[in-house]
Amino acid sequence: EENHFFENADVLVLDSQYTGEEAIAKANWGHSIFCYAVDFANVWNVKKLFFFHHEPTYSDKKIYSILRAAKWYEDYSAKYDVDLNIAVEGQEIEI
């Protein structure tokens, strides 16, 4: 089994700009989707995941809807146990 730099991290801040549907439309833009971030955090046994690099045109409501979708994905699809959060400009994260 391969070791990963992020394995057993307390916190991971990861690009999760789009939903799956949006990522298909913007496939060559180089951004990730929230479910990949949740999957990576689970595989690497990360305790807290912060989604960042939000689409600049999104409202706060849209960004938090992505967080809700990620929590649904975590709870009902994958059965993971990662603390999911939205990264906010100027935020300080205690480790």
pLDDT in tens, 9-43: 999 999 887 776 776 666 676 667 888 899 889 98
pTM of the prediction? 0.83
What pLDDT, in 10s, does the model give residues 44-90?
Answer: 999 999 998 887 888 999 999 999 999 998 888 767 789 999 999 89
Q: Which helix (H) or strand (E) holds 35?
A: helix 34-43
**Predicted local confidence at residue 94, as pLDDT:** 84
Length of the chain: 95
- Paired strand residues for 12: 49
